[in-house]
């Protein structure tokens, strides 16, 4: 029972921190103003890891490689800790390439979960309070994914089905990633 509780706490902690690192890279990509309260909060939570790494890997013009590298390192540490908790020893050297690939898949999984939650929040908020100040931020963050879907879907309906399509695509991809990740390390 203690192992299950510890595994749950590790998963929550690492998922939230990994999502914050991905959100940092995402805010960089959509050019969210650094003084935005959300961006400032994300920077405060992640600066302790990202700023030292930035000396080794600079952020690109449109992609924050430093934050993505930090998310990958956090995912790798998470997998090592989960393996240590389950098996009682470190990951064998022969399985290290699988662990590296699995941690990359974990980062993609965290990004997809972030997409799901932001899209759900935007959809619910658009029904409850479309004039909320949070709506502009959510639209800025989700527009790069929703706009291509909106171009494909037929126009004319009063309801925007693009969030539903994005949620379905993200969930299908999450299911495929879960199978791949489990197949690599069994985690």
Q: What is the 3-state secondary structure (H, E, C) of the chain?
A: CHHHHHHHHHHHHHHHHHHHHHHHHHHHHCCCCCCCHHHHHHHHHHHHHHHHHHCCCCCCCCCCHHHHHHHHHHHHHHHHHHHHHHHCCCCCHHHHHHHHHHHHHHHHHHHHHHHHHHHHHHHHHHHHCCCCHHHHHHHHHHHHHHHHHHHHCCCCCCCCCHHHHHHHHHHHHHHHHHHHHHHHHCC
pLDDT of amino acid 1 = 81
**Mean pLDDT lowest for which of 28-32, 68-72, 158-162?**
158-162
Tokens of 73: 């390192």
- pTM strictly above 0.95: no
Interval 10-37 mean pLDDT: 95
Q: Is the pLDDT of residue 98 over 70?
A: yes
Instruction: Decide: 114 and 75 in contact? Cβ < 8 Å.
Output: no
In the chain, % of residues over pLDDT 90: 72
CB 29 within 8 A of CB 141: no
Least confident segment among 4-18, 85-99, 109-123: 85-99
CA distances from 72 to 1, 19, 69, 92, 134 (A): 29, 11, 5, 19, 29
Write out pLDDT tens, residues 129-140. Answer: 989 989 999 999
What length is written for the chain?
Answer: 187
Q: For the residues 53-75, what does the mean pLDDT come to?
A: 94
- 155: pLDDT strictly greater than 90: no
pLDDT band of 185, cuts 50, 70, 90? low
Q: How confident is the model at residue 186 (pLDDT cuts 50, 70, 90)?
A: low
Check residue 157 and give its pLDDT. Answer: 67
């Amino acid at each position: 029972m203690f192992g299950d509780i510890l595994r749950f706490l590790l998963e929550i902690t690492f998922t939230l921190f990994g999502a914050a690192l991905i959100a940092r890279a995402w805010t960089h990509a959509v050019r969210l103003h650094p003084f935005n309260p959300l961006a400032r909060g994300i920077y405060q939570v992640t600066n302790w890891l990202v700023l030292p790494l930035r000396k080794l890997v600079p952020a690109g013009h449109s992609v924050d490689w430093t934050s993505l590298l930090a998310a990958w390192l956090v995912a790798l540490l998470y997998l090592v800790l989960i393996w240590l908790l389950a098996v009682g020893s470190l990951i064998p050297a022969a399985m290290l390439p699988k662990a590296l690939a699995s941690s990359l898949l974990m980062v993609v999984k965290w990004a997809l979960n972030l997409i799901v939650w932001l899209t759900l929040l935007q959809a619910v908020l658009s029904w409850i309070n479309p004039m909320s100040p949070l709506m502009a931020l959510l639209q800025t963050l989700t527009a790069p994914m929703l706009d291509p879907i909106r171009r494909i879907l037929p126009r004319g309906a009063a309801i925007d089905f693009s969030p539903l399509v994005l949620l379905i695509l993200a969930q299908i991809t999450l299911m495929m990633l879960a199978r791949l990740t489990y197949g690599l390390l069994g985690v």
